[in-house]
Amino acid sequence: MSNVGDSITANRASWCFGGDVPKTFEDHVSKSVPLYNEGHELICDISDFFVSNESVVYEMGCSTGLLTKKIAKHCNNKKDARFIGVDIELDMIEFAKIKILETDPSLMQNVEFINADALEMQLLPTDLVICYYTVQFIHPSKRQEFIDKIYRAMNWGGALLMFEKVRGSDARFQDILTTLYNEYKLKIGYTPDDIISKTLSLKGVLEPFSTQGNVDMLKRSGFNDIYTVQKYLCFEGFLAIK
């Protein structure tokens, strides 16, 4: 196994979110993804437009539950709203449950963490679904099915916030984006070996679409009102309203 930074190790083409990863994941991802924490703040602010007192809100691929908790706190005046974090990795869900009990036990009446495959679980009618750098890890052959499922479960006027790593629209732009992103990671302290090992670990695991590919996927599901709310290099946040 090779070190990919922040005391996380991974083998070639086998990156996963289980094992010891949850312990250092928040630090790792907040450094690896530009504007990661700012994206959390933006999502909380956008939630005001869609979350009502009786809303059900999902975060699909919630990892350690940090964003789910932030939204629940932000919407603490919506006393009967439910906030459901879903993750396929049991280690992440167990870590999220421990963290909320240790730091925010009062949120437990409104927050629930579920270990499940989002492709298989039945969704309640929902006003807001958040996929924060999640869909990129779903196999491309299943991705459209996943977005279709979210669209069907969504109440009219509800929204999907989907943040993704995106590919460049052509080879030249992809080369520029890759180079600039590698420079970004060097500047925040990752070594060249860390960067290469992380890239190798994500082979066949992280499969980004281009901006247009994501927009086309959302439109095929039925979303017509789609807008980019955050963009930095190869990282983009989409707001899609039903």
CATH of residue 96's domain is 3.40.50.150
Contact 93, 113 (CB under 8 A): yes
pLDDT at 16: 64
Contact 113, 144 (CB under 8 A): no
Bridge partners, residue 83, by sequence: 57, 111
The tokens for 150 are 């979210």
Answer yes or no: is 237 within a domain. Answer: no
Point out the least confidently predicted range of 114-123, 125-134, 202-211: 202-211
pLDDT at 11: 65
Q: How do residues 135-148 score in pLDDT, each as one tens digit?
A: 999 999 999 999 99
Task: Work out how many domains the chain is built from and give that number.
Answer: 1
pLDDT at 132: 98
Answer yes or no: is 194 within a domain. Answer: yes
pLDDT at 186: 95
Answer yes or no: is 240 within a domain. Answer: no
Domain span at residue 96?
2-230
Answer yes or no: is 87 within a domain. Answer: yes
Bridge partners, residue 129, by sequence: 58, 160
Region 3-10: mean pLDDT is: 61
Answer yes or no: is 157 within a domain. Answer: yes
Residue 126 has pLDDT above 70, yes or no: yes
Residue 200 has pLDDT above 90, yes or no: no
Answer yes or no: is 236 within a domain. Answer: no
Kindly report the pTM of this predicted structure.
0.94
pLDDT at 221: 98
pLDDT at 89: 93
Residue 134 has pLDDT above 80, yes or no: yes
pLDDT at 10: 59
Mean pLDDT of the chain: 92
Contact 92, 62 (CB under 8 A): yes
Answer yes or no: is 238 within a domain. Answer: no
Confidence grade of residue 12 (pLDDT, cut at 50, 70, 90): low
Region 216-239: mean pLDDT is: 98
Region 176-190: mean pLDDT is: 95
Region 123-127: mean pLDDT is: 98
pLDDT at 54: 93
Residue 194 has pLDDT above 70, yes or no: yes
Confidence grade of residue 108 (pLDDT, cut at 50, 70, 90): confident
Residue 14 or 9, more confident: 9
Contact 20, 1 (CB under 8 A): no
Task: Name the CA dihedral angle for 112, 106, 47, 133, rounded to a multiple of 10 degrees.
Answer: -50
Confidence grade of residue 68 (pLDDT, cut at 50, 70, 90): very high
Answer yes or no: is 215 within a domain. Answer: yes
